[in-house]
Structure 1
Amino acid sequence: MRNLSTRRSALAAALLLSTASGAWAQEAPADAPAADEADGIVVTARNREEDINDVPIPITVLSGDTVAQQRVFTIADLTQRSPGLTATTPNARRTGVSLRGIGKTSGNDNMEAAVGAIVDDVFLGHVGMTYQDFTDLQQVEILRGPQGTLLGKNTSLGVIKYTTKAPTFDPEGTLELEKGFTRRAFKARGSYSTGLVQDVLAFRASFFLDKQDGDILNINPARGGRWHERNRWGGRFQLLFKPSSNFSLKLNADSAETNENSNTKPWIVDPATLDDGSPRTSSYSIRLARSYFNGYTPIIGSTTTIDMDQAEPLITRNSGVSLVADWDVGPVQLKSISAWRTLHFDAKNDSEQTRFPIARGGTLVDTEQLSQELRISGNLTNRIDFQAGLYLFKIDTETTSRNLFGRDAGAFYASSSQYAALNTAANLPFLRASLENVFSTTYQNPVSKSEAVFAQANWKLTDRFTVTGGVRYTWEQKDSITTRAATYVDGTALVATGNSTADAIRSTQLGAPYADIKGEPIRDGSFSWLINPSFKITDDVLLYASASGGGKSGAVAFLNDGTLANVLPERTTDFELGVKGAFFANALQLSVNLYNTRVRNYQNVTSYKDDASATGFSSRLGNIPGLRARGVELDGHLRVSDALSFNFGGAFNDAVYTDWSNATCPRNVVTTKDNPTCNNTGKQVVGAPKWNVIIGFNVDQPIGDSGFTLRVFANDTWRSSHNLEQLLSPYGFQKGYHLTDAGIGVAKELGGVETEFSIVAKNLFDTQYTTSVNDFSNNAPVGYDGVGPRRYVGALLRVKY
């Protein structure tokens, strides 16, 4: 990866390009209004301000006020407000986001997401960049279905589009202080904006602090305390320069960090037998039952208690800067978006989650991306408007998987026969020497560059009938190298233990080292396309359909032994039919959408049979030949009165594998040479609940003539049962569950400052659930990798002027 001075030079060049290009199109002004149900909801889904009922795309919108009141700050929070959106967020690297059950990726830095995240017009290239609190927001838009012609790289299944509040020339500010009741917590958020030079120069600064005790108690005396905590902070600074009414520059810099005791995976069950009733000969429980561990009983079956001493706090840092230039030159509008972002991730996990010094494992990731987007928009005729542009993107990632073995590693990882041979007074030193203080690493450096040109136009054939068409061509170049090495922790070379059995334990666990294996480069181009007719049934009701195609390029990848194993490109074809509009004098906003999405060569983390692995299986980035999602989505808002409104949504999603006949079987299945695989064709896609229902209400009621206003909200999300394990293990099922958030408070204007005091609750009924499951292996039980946060209740003081 480039050194610091080179990075600065590249950033300076990108920013210079933005300024020199004259500033490209302000389709969405810097001070665009937030969503407002009373006056119509304004969205920027197509890079310009439009009423939501004029946009032929299924969209869920959350206003900045809703985000602040209901404490919707993370990707996980968003999944409770948008039908069909799911996510698992155990940490930054293992974050996965899906729409309609498709797109979730987790734990492989070669893999790119198919559900894109865009913040202030900047695409986030690594899914870990979404692992932070998003605050001081103007609004959030969740766009379902392919968005690949306008909204950029890897958005073939949908987009989450964040828009932060922009600098204002009039002074305004907010401050929020929150104290937790159910467990120790303190949270603070604030922002301030004002003009520096009237109507010419303004700034906005915001910050957040989120500290909260965890849900899981570590009973180990050496590392006791609460785990799965929140300990994160960050800030954003914006500077708006507007020398004339038709030109502006906005500098946007942000940084966020987490430093949390959160990298745990509660063990749930360690089966004693396989499906045919045969006993397991090697398992986590069997290994820890060895006399070496003196009758130790591991914690299995609890999501609230752990016993470990090897893990260290998990660190994630997200930072970035962008320069957006807008220029309205009359016939056309021009816009330039230059951006640089970086992600640092450092995990040091207790691999076996015991109080013994067995192994610490985790991945170190450093990612840097540069992007430059140029847009032009305008009217070709009085009936045809267009957008077109150029998009340049580069992302460079260094990822190092690390394992540090401790004094007791040999006794744990040895096979039964190896352990029996070495568990004697004479040979015990060899058992320990097999892995003690051994440090192994696997390094990869995937680099991806892409250049794209795009265009989209709306042709208004009549006053009510419009056809939208779009196309995007992307050329990508991908390279990667990998290296595997092992030394002692002090960096000295490994030496033989003097015992062949101990050497065999080491060899099995480490695998063969290799140096600088170059992956098979990818040089590939792809098209995304869109045909999207729409018809205004009335001034307030829109009927639309769409057909689109797109996807994402393949990946340069390797198997665990360094063997080249590139991943094929993923291709998506989607058909939509929907109606949306405002009814009953805008009292009801309603959107109903039918969809049929097919994905070929679906990219996903899968497993493959690996006889060299201690478990017999290894994970890899691969392709599933085909899947299909078909269903209906409902999204709406009902205003009963000025004081009372309801939000509602839902989805029925029949998402199945249409071709996965040669899937690796889950661990509970006994395979044979004649039947080595399982047939998952026709089964529901991993992580895709068939039903999802959302309902909530909001009360904003003045209390007589007191000047006080009563504010109450509640939001409930229900998901039906679904399987969360990558190979559809029977141990991966999460039963259906509800999540309910609620709050009640009073507000009053005091001296021109709106002051609100409220009690807020997340997961009010303390539902226990997980969003990710790992199957058992020879070294680990079934683990819940995405245990959801338990009930939280806090008191919030919010002032705004």
Structure 2
Amino acid sequence: MKKMKVKFKLGTAIQPSQLAQSIAWILLGCTASTVVLAQDEVPQIQQSGIVQQQPVNEADVVELDAVVVTTRRREEKAQDVPTPISILSGQTLESQRLSRVEDLQQALPSLNVAFQNPRQSSVAIRGLGNNPASDGLEASVGVYLDNVYLGRPGMVVFDILDVAQLELLRGPQGTLFGKNTTAGLLNITSKAPTFYPDNTLEISAGERNYFQAKSSLSDALTETVAGRFSFYKTVQDGFIENVAQPDADKLNDIDRQGVRGQILWQPSDNFNLRWIADYHEEDDQQGMRVDYDLGPTFTHSVFGENYNQYLSNATQAGATIENFHYTDRKVSSSKPQRMQVNQGGTSVEANWTLDSGKKLTSITAYRFWNFTPTNSDGTDTDAIRNLGVSVEDKQYSQELRLASANNETFNWVTGLYYFQQNLDNDTLVQYGNQADAFLLYQTEVLRPTIENGTSNILNNRESHTYGYADTKSYAAFGQGTWHVVPKLDITAGGRVTYEDKEARVNRLAPTGGVNTIYQAVVNNQLGAYDSGKLNLSDTGYSGLLTASYKINPNNLLYATYSHGEKSGGFNLAVGTAPSAGAGSLKVDPEIADNYEIGLKQTLWNNRLQLNSNLFWVDVKDYQTTGTQQIGTNYVSVLDNAGKVRSRGAEIDATIRPIQGLTVNVNGSWNDAKYTKYEGTPAPSSVSIPTGVAYQDLTGERVYGVPEWIANVNFRYDLKHKNRWQPYIAGSYSWRDWSYGNLDNAKESIIDAYGLFNASVGTRYNIGENQLDLSLWAKNLNDKTYVTNVFNRYNGVVGATLGQPRTIGATLKLSF
């Protein structure tokens, strides 16, 4: 299957020269950490808390545009904020065709997005947060949409629509944002309603029947009320051929649509209220995995030479063995593959500017997310007809925040936050008439009855496990900046969070099947179990201390210590609970201590911005998947990994050498390792031949973390001529190899890969309106690459593939 290569970096210590080189970058100021991609529009004008875009006329200027952020809950230039922030404008997202959250790692340093489907997805920063499909846990990386925290990573899996700005903040957050996170956060801000016409209509078409239509309409409704309405529809054929169903559509297609409506009421300069409602749905065949490795082949003490558990079991079950390589983009499955999502919500944000200059903000929000999958065993035999975890999630949140008026001596922000989440899931497995052969044929004592068809252990049975997790979170937070002298600032912040959680796991007795002499095996595999109510309460503390020094108006040096705590949670699966007790389903809180030093520079008459930083993060009780010993067996469960250390450097350089041309280079070096992680799952290449089910990964790399990431992108807008303005844009993103699975198996290694994107187009002015026609290509080199991998049955490793090349065209009308 997958070509295996010996990796010279496996398990090696970081080279001193690499660290020295990174430090040199910092001290010389030849790199950057803030992505400030230049735009043709004034990036952000903040009016009473509402972010808006304003058009400007072309001018003969070369310098970079200033980017204004409200990261510290007041308007500031990004270059003046002493923290690592990466920013992508709405125009940058459009020109690079970054329309989905899984695309963002092609433009941002230290970011990893693992995506198979909306439930099995995760966002990680600096190697922290690789926990897909953990319904009973919160994410290490918080995702915010218009200042509203999204409780599940899947809530951001939709086409990124009508975005004004996207910000990536690295390190523990909580002293300024609603929900506490230990690794960082992704903050997405949509375009607000405007009191002038701001309308767009866009249609795109491309390979594999790609079609996208989207539109945004905004204007004043009255003198004090403005509205905005946006929608999109995206479809594209799949790219994985199913040879077992040659007449069927290819798998991993796309079929998404959504709408967002907004009302902005601004009766005075001192008050505004923004009401947002949105709805999205998806119904397609996403989530199909190809075979990446078929597991170990070895000499078995009983079954002889060249024994492969998967091939042996699958052959006995009557499956066709195709032995595809993952680059073939083919599978052989006789069962359906489907995924359905519907989600949405509403929020109201109100901002008052008091007579004293203080600003009071209230954000009230409700969101829901429903996910229903249809999966199978990936073969053309009747082993597993359907399996998956359906989820229904609802959340409510309320944030109150008070910010001081601008003061030359001391500025502060304080707030209260409440968050409630109610999640229910249903784990379904429907076994076929060949389930025993496919899943149990490796057991010597069961072979005779499986061969003669009388075992009837799993065959034709159905199992349901119902779980729920309810969360109530209360927090008080605050942060202040003391301007000690004109050049020196000291910033301190703190947060206290109390969380109360309740969960329950209830597996019903299986239905279907017939009587069997192996009833004890049936009970062990599928027997009824009820954990009863599980409770978890915890008080967590977070803090931040930063010193920043303006060496001169164009150079900012800063150092930061921050502490973050992420609450504990539950395994919403039976796991080891029947023998180890219901308490084994609980997961302890995750605690992170972060240290940073960085330098932000603006040089060459504001034509070059250079930012860089070094970071060191120590994490205790890192929440991940581990093993527990039950008798003589080791069972995989969600657990705390002991300790993790993530250290490295993040760099960025944005330059505008001539009018119209902007080039950005960013990247990161990340040395993320387990400093203590015992009792971890052994890879199937070890556990199947030897029976050893555990290993010690202390000192090894954290899975899912490329050591090096590099991104380059540019945009060149030529001068207007006869109402025409041509432009060209391109990007290249490269990611180092990484372990794809938590067992750090060499069979799961995701090889390094690079992707090219490009576009060329022209704008044509028709009075006050504008036409924009472009030709573009994503993954221009048609690279077959793996985004993440998973362990499957009988030692097989499955992989999710990234999108192949798509060449298309877009016509956009702005009026």
- Shared fold (TM-score greater than 0.5)? yes
> Are residues 1:553 and 2:580 paired?
no
1:326 counterpart (317, 341, 351): 351
> Are residues 1:361 and 2:387 paired?
yes
Aligned-partner Cα distance in 1 for 2:759–2:699: 42
Name 2:743's counterpart in structure 1: 727
> Are residues 1:101 and 2:127 paired?
yes
Aligned-partner Cα distance in 1 for 2:340–2:803: 19
Of 469-478 and 102-111, the range deviating more from structure 2: 102-111
- Secondary structure at the counterpart of residue 95 of structure 2: helix
Q: For residue 34 of structure 1, report the CA deviation from its aligned partner.
A: 7.7
> Are residues 1:240 and 2:264 paired?
yes
Name 1:515's counterpart in structure 2: 530
Aligned-partner Cα distance in 1 for 2:779–2:300: 40
Aligned-partner Cα distance in 1 for 2:134–2:54: 36
* Cα deviation code 1:512-564 (max 9, x no counterpart): 21135222x11110110000111111212211110110120111336514332
User: What is the identity, as a one-letter code, of the residue corresponding to 1:517?
Assistant: G
1:27, 1:333 within 8 Å by CA — same for their partners in 2? no
User: What is the identity, as a one-letter code, of the residue corresponding to 2:528?
Assistant: P
* Cα deviation code 1:346-401 (max 9, x no counterpart): 11101243343533101110000000000001149641111001000011100111
- Bigger RCO (CA 8 Å, 6+ sep): 2
Q: Is the alpha carbon distance of 1:709 and 1:145 closer, same or farther for their aligned partners in structure 2, counting shifts above 3 Å?
A: same
Give 1:48-127 correspondences, 5 Å limit: 48-127=74-153
1:768 counterpart (750, 762, 784): 784
Aligned-partner Cα distance in 2 for 1:738–1:645: 21
> Are residues 1:653 and 2:670 paired?
yes
- Secondary structure at the counterpart of residue 286 of structure 2: coil
Give 1:417-436 correspondences, 5 Å limit: 417=444, 420-422=447-449, 428=453, 430-431=454-455, 434-436=457-459
Give 1:660-699 correspondences, 5 Å limit: 660-670=677-687, 677-699=694-716
Name 1:452's counterpart in structure 2: 475
* Cα deviation code 1:450-476 (max 9, x no counterpart): 100011011101111111110000001
Q: For residue 645 of structure 1, report the CA deviation from its aligned partner.
A: 1.4
Q: For residue 273 of structure 1, report the CA deviation from its aligned partner.
A: 2.8
1:462 counterpart (466, 485, 497): 485
1:34, 1:42 within 8 Å by CA — same for their partners in 2? no
2:634, 2:694 within 8 Å by CA — same for their partners in 1? no
User: What is the identity, as a one-letter code, of the residue corresponding to 1:537?
Assistant: I
Aligned-partner Cα distance in 2 for 1:268–1:663: 22
Q: For residue 275 of structure 1, report the CA deviation from its aligned partner.
A: 11
1:223, 1:309 within 8 Å by CA — same for their partners in 2? no
1:737 counterpart (753, 759, 768): 753
- Secondary structure at the counterpart of residue 486 of structure 2: coil
Gaps of 5+ in 2: 1-45, 57-62
Name 2:59's counterpart in structure 1: none
* Cα deviation code 1:139-192 (max 9, x no counterpart): 1011111222112323221111100000011111111100013x2111111100
Aligned-partner Cα distance in 2 for 1:618–1:314: 28
1:758 counterpart (771, 774, 779): 774
Name 2:811's counterpart in structure 1: 797
Give 1:701-716 correspondences, 5 Å limit: 701-702=718-719, 705-716=721-732
> Are residues 1:599 and 2:619 paired?
yes
Aligned-partner Cα distance in 2 for 1:637–1:380: 30
Q: For residue 504 of structure 1, report the CA deviation from its aligned partner.
A: 5.7
- Secondary structure at the counterpart of residue 486 of structure 1: coil
How many residues are treated as equivalent by the alignment? 753
Q: Is the alpha carbon distance of 1:423 and 1:720 closer, same or farther for their aligned partners in structure 2, counting shifts above 3 Å?
A: closer
* Cα deviation code 1:177-220 (max 9, x no counterpart): 00013x2111111100011102x111100011110111101122
1:180, 1:795 within 8 Å by CA — same for their partners in 2? yes
Name 1:194's counterpart in structure 2: 219
> Are residues 1:221 and 2:227 paired?
no
Q: Is the alpha carbon distance of 1:508 and 1:224 closer, same or farther for their aligned partners in structure 2, counting shifts above 3 Å?
A: farther
1:299, 1:306 within 8 Å by CA — same for their partners in 2? no
Q: For residue 679 of structure 1, report the CA deviation from its aligned partner.
A: 2.3
1:569 counterpart (557, 568, 589): 589
Q: For residue 420 of structure 1, report the CA deviation from its aligned partner.
A: 4.2
- Secondary structure at the counterpart of residue 410 of structure 1: helix
* Cα deviation code 1:236-285 (max 9, x no counterpart): 00011112221111110011111111121111221343699996867221
> Are residues 1:622 and 2:639 paired?
yes
Aligned-partner Cα distance in 1 for 2:344–2:366: 9
* Cα deviation code 1:477-531 (max 9, x no counterpart): 011011001343xxxxx57x34414x46644542x21135222x11110110000
- Secondary structure at the counterpart of residue 226 of structure 1: coil
Aligned-partner Cα distance in 2 for 1:436–1:148: 50
> Are residues 1:163 and 2:193 paired?
no
Aligned-partner Cα distance in 1 for 2:146–2:413: 18
2:796 counterpart (764, 771, 781): 781
Q: Is the alpha carbon distance of 1:385 and 1:314 closer, same or farther for their aligned partners in structure 2, counting shifts above 3 Å?
A: same
Name 2:333's counterpart in structure 1: 308
User: What is the identity, as a one-letter code, of the residue corresponding to 2:346?
Assistant: V
Name 2:278's counterpart in structure 1: 254
Q: For residue 288 of structure 1, report the CA deviation from its aligned partner.
A: 1.7
Aligned-partner Cα distance in 2 for 1:576–1:480: 37
Q: For residue 677 of structure 1, report the CA deviation from its aligned partner.
A: 3.5
2:396 counterpart (356, 360, 370): 370
1:328, 1:334 within 8 Å by CA — same for their partners in 2? yes
- Secondary structure at the counterpart of residue 480 of structure 1: strand
